[in-house]
C-alpha cells in the first residue's frame, strides 16, 4: 500500500504563502501604476469607496464560522456541511442588504457615483461565502502551494481585465468587474481543490456551538474592519473621493513590506498556533519568534519608503499623485504596529479569547473615530494618517500587549530584539532621505535607498539565522529566545 503524502508543515506553508504574495504584488504593481495613471485620483477614489463597502461586508459575511474549521481538534469533515450552510445563508443575506443599502452608503461618504460600482463589487461577498470552508480547509492543512495557484489566477485575471476595461473608458467600474471575474474563477478552483467534498447540511447539534464560536469573531471582525478602514471612511466623508484616492495610494505603499510578510503569516499563524495547543510552552514562544523575524524583515524596507516617498511616487505614479507622499510616514508607523496587533489577534483567538479581543477592538474604536474626525478637520489628509498611527500605536497595541502578558508571554523578551533592527531601520531611513534630497535623479535615489534597505534586511536576518532555522520546524523543536545575543 502506498503511504499517504506527508502533510505540509507551517514553514513550507509560510514559504509558499510569501511567494504567492510577492508574485501577486510584483505582478500587479505595473498594472496598478497604469490604472492609477489612466483613472486619476478621482476615479481611483471612487473605487476605493466601493472597496471599503466590500471589505465591510466581508468582515462578517460568513458569521465567523469558517475559522472553526482551522481550530477544530477532530476531523473537520463533520462540521463542514453545517459551516457551508451558515456561510452561504449569511453571505446571501448580507450581499442583498448591501446592494439595497449602496445608495445610502455612497451618499454618506460623499460619492454617489460609486453606487453602481459597489453593487457590482459586492457580488464578491456571495462568492466569498460559498468558498469560505474550502479556503479554511486549505489553511488548516497548510496547503499554501495550492493556494498560490488559485490566488495567482484571481489576481491576474482580475487585474488584466480591469486594465483592458479601464483603457476602454469604463473608469472605476473596470476595477469592480475585473475583481468579480477573478473571484469567480478562483471560486471554481477552490471548490475543486477542497480536501473535503463540498455539500450543504445542517447538524442541529453543531449550529449553536459554531455560532457561539463564530459570532464573537464576526463582531470582532466588524470592529477590526472599522479600526482598519475608519480612516478611509473619514477621509471620503469629510474630504471627498479625490482626497481618498491620495490617501489610499499612500496606504497601499505603506502596506507593501508588511503585506508581503504579514498576509502570509495571517494564513499560516492560526493553524501553526493550533498545532501547538498541546504544548503551551512552545506555543507561547512562537509569537515572540515571529515578532523578531518580522521586525528584522520589514522595518528597513518600511523606513526606506519613508525616506524615498517623493521620488518613488513621482517616478511610478506621476506628479498628480505627489500629495500622497505627505501622509506616507504616518501610515508606515500605523502599518508596522498593526502587523503585530494582527498577530496578537490570531494568537488570542486560537486560545479561545475571541470575546476579549472584541472588547479590545471596540474600546479602541471609541478613541479612534473622534481622533480621525478631529485630524481630518484640522489638518486634512495628513491629520487622518497621524490620528490612525497614534491611536494604533498608543492605544490598540498596548491593550494587546497587556492581554498577551496575562496569557504568559514574555513581553520584555519580545522587545529585547527590537533595538538593533530599529537602529538599522533608522539608519536606512536616514540614508534613503539623504539620497532623495541630494540626488535629483529619482531612479538613482531609489537605487541607493533600496540598496541600503536590502543590505540592512539581509544582515539582520543573517544574525537571526538560528531563529529562522527553528521556525522551519514549528511544533517539533523548542524555539529560541527572540532577543539578539
Buried b (16+ CB within 10 A) or exposed e, 1-27: eeeeeeebbbbbbbbbbbebbeebbee
Grid cell digits, residue 279: 504544548
Cα 451 to Cα 164, 181, 301, 428, 431: the distances in Å are 35, 38, 10, 9, 10
Structural element, H or E, at residue 454: helix 442-463
Under 8 Å between Cβ of 404 and 344? yes
CA–CA distance, 388 with 393 (Å, rounded to integer)? 9
Query: What pLDDT shows up at residue 149?
Result: 83
Identify whether the C-beta of residue 163 lies closer than 8 Å to the C-beta of residue 35. Answer: yes
Helix (H, G, I), strand (E, B) or coil at 464: coil
Same domain, residue pair 156 and 240: no
Q: Which residues contact 354 (CB under 8 A, 6 or more apart)?
A: 213, 216, 217, 220, 348
> Do both 157 and 261 map to the same domain?
no
Quick one: residue 464, left, alpha or beta (phi over 0 = left, psi -120 to 50 = alpha)? alpha
Residue 313: give the domain boundaries. Answer: 229-479
Extract the C-alpha cell encoding 235. 477621509
Q: Which of 155, 185, 202 is the last residue of a domain?
A: 202
Report pLDDT for 483.
44
Q: Do 258 and 319 sit in the same domain of this protein?
A: yes
pLDDT given at position 282:
66
In a domain, 52, yes or no: yes
Q: Is residue 307 part of a domain?
A: yes
Cell 464560522 locates to 65
How many Å apart are CA 286 and CA 473, to the nearest integer?
11
The Cα 422–Cα 426 span in angstroms is: 6
Q: Tally the domains of the chain.
A: 2
Q: What is the DSSP string of 181-249?
A: HHHHHHHHHHHHH-SS-------HHHHHHHHHHHHHHHHHHHHHHHHHHHHHHHIIIII-HHHHHHHHH
- Looking at 202, 221, 256, the residue that finishes a domain is 202
The residues of the chain scoring below 50 in pLDDT are 1-6, 475-485
Q: What is residue 256's predicted lDDT score, i.e. its pLDDT?
A: 77
Angle of CA points 265, 279, 220, to nearest 5°: 45
User: Both 190 and 295 in a single domain?
Assistant: no
Give the single-character DSSP code of 1: -
Task: Examine the domain organization and report whether 305 and 190 are in the same domain.
Answer: no
User: What was the pLDDT predicted at 452?
Assistant: 92
- Which residue has cell 498576509? 263
Residue 410 lies in a domain: yes
Assess if residue 484 is contained within a domain: no
Give CA–CA dist 205/210, Å, rounded.
9
Beta strands in 387-433 (DSSP E): none
Considering the domain architecture, whether residues 182 and 248 belong to the same structural domain is answered as no
Considering the domain architecture, whether residues 197 and 238 belong to the same structural domain is answered as no
Kindly state whether residues 251 and 391 are assigned to the same domain. yes
| Residues 485, 418 contacting (CB under 8 angstroms) | no
279 and 384 share a domain?
Answer: yes
56 & 95 share domain: yes
Query: For residue 208, is it within any domain?
Result: no
**Grid coordinates in use for 140?**
488548516
**Could you say which of 163, 183, 202 is where a domain stops?**
202
Torsion of CA 34, 38, 40, 44, to 10 degrees: -70
110: alpha, beta or left? (left if phi > 0; alpha if psi -120 to 50): left
Q: Is residue 276 part of a domain?
A: yes
Other C-beta atoms closer than 10 Å to the C-beta of 204 total: 7
Q: Specify if 449 maps to a domain.
A: yes
Regarding whether 9 and 150 lie in a shared domain, the answer is yes
What's the burial of 197, exposed, middle or buried (CB within 10 Å: 0-12/13-18/19+)? Answer: exposed
C-alpha 137/C-alpha 69 separation (Å) is 7
Residues 148 and 111 in one domain: yes
Whether 216 is covered by a domain: the verdict is: no
CB < 8 Å & 24+ apart, contacts of 36-41: 36/249, 36/317, 36/321, 37/317, 37/318, 38/166, 38/167, 39/166, 39/171, 39/172, 39/175, 40/245, 40/320, 41/242, 41/245, 41/246, 41/249, 41/320, 41/321
Amino acid at each position: 500500500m502506498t503511504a499517504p503524502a506527508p502533510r505540509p508543515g507551517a514553514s513550507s506553508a509560510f514559504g509558499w504563502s510569501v511567494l504567492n504574495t510577492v508574485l501577486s504584488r510584483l505582478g500587479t504593481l505595473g498594472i496598478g501604476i497604469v490604472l492609477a495613471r489612466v483613472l486619476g485620483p478621482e476615479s481611483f477614489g471612487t473605487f476605493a469607496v466601493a472597496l471599503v463597502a466590500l471589505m465591510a461586508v466581508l468582515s462578517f459575511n460568513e458569521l465567523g464560522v469558517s475559522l472553526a474549521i482551522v481550530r477544530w481538534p477532530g476531523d473537520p469533515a463533520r462540521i463542514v456541511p453545517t459551516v457551508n450552510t451558515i456561510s452561504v445563508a449569511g453571505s446571501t443575506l448580507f450581499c442583498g442588504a448591501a446592494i439595497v443599502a449602496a445608495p445610502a452608503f455612497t451618499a454618506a461618504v460623499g460619492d454617489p457615483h460609486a453606487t453602481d460600482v459597489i453593487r457590482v463589487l459586492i457580488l464578491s461577498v456571495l462568492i466569498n461565502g460559498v468558498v469560505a470552508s474550502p479556503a479554511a480547509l486549505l489553511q488548516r492543512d497548510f496547503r499554501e502551494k495550492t493556494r498560490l495557484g488559485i490566488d495567482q489566477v484571481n489576481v491576474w485575471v482580475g487585474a488584466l481585465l480591469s486594465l483592458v476595461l479601464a483603457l476602454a473608458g469604463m473608469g472605476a467600474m473596470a476595477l469592480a468587474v475585473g475583481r468579480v471575474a477573478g473571484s469567480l474563477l478562483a471560486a471554481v478552483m477552490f471548490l475543486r481543490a477542497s480536501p473535503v467534498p463540498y455539500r450543504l447540511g445542517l447538524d442541529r447539534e453543531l449550529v449553536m456551538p459554531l455560532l457561539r464560536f463564530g459570532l464573537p469573531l464576526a463582531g470582532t471582525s466588524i470592529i477590526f474592519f472599522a479600526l482598519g478602514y475608519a480612516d478611509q471612511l473619514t477621509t471620503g466623508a469629510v474630504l471627498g473621493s479625490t482626497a481618498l484616492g491620495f490617501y489610499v495610494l499612500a496606504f497601499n505603499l505603506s502596506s507593501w513590506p508588511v503585506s508581503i510578510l504579514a498576509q502570509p503569516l495571517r494564513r499560516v499563524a492560526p493553524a501553526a498556533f493550533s498545532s501547538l495547543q498541546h504544548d503551551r510552552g512552545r506555543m507561547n514562544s512562537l509569537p515572540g519568534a515571529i515578532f523578531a523575524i518580522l521586525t528584522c524583515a520589514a522595518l528597513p524596507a518600511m523606513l526606506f519608503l519613508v525616506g524615498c516617498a517623493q521620488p518613488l511616487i513621482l517616478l511610478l505614479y506621476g506628479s498628480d499623485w505627489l500629495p500622497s507622499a505627505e501622509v506616507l510616514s504616518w501610515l508606515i508607523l500605523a502599518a508596522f504596529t498593526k502587523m503585530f496587533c494582527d498577530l496578537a489577534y490570531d494568537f488570542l483567538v486560537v486560545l479561545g479569547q475571541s470575546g476579549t479581543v472584541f472588547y479590545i477592538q471596540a474600546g479602541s474604536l471609541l478613541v479612534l473615530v473622534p481622533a480621525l474626525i478631529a485630524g481630518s478637520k484640522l489638518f486634512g489628509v495628513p491629520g487622518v494618517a497621524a490620528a490612525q498611527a497614534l491611536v494604533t500605536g498608543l492605544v490598540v497595541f498596548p491593550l494587546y500587549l497587556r492581554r498577551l502578558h496575562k496569557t504568559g508571554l514574555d513581553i520584555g523578551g519580545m522587545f529585547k530584539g527590537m533595538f538593533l533592527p530599529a537602529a538599522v531601520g533608522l539608519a536606512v531611513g536616514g540614508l534613503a532621505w539623504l539620497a532623495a534630497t541630494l540626488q535629483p535623479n529619482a531612479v538613482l535615489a531609489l537605487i541607493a535607498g533600496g540598496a541600503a534597505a536590502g543590505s540592512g534586511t539581509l544582515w539582520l536576518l543573517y544574525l537571526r539565522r538560528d531563529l529562522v532555522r527553528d521556525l522551519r520546524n514549528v511544533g517539533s523543536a523548542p524555539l529560541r529566545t527572540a532577543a539578539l545575543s
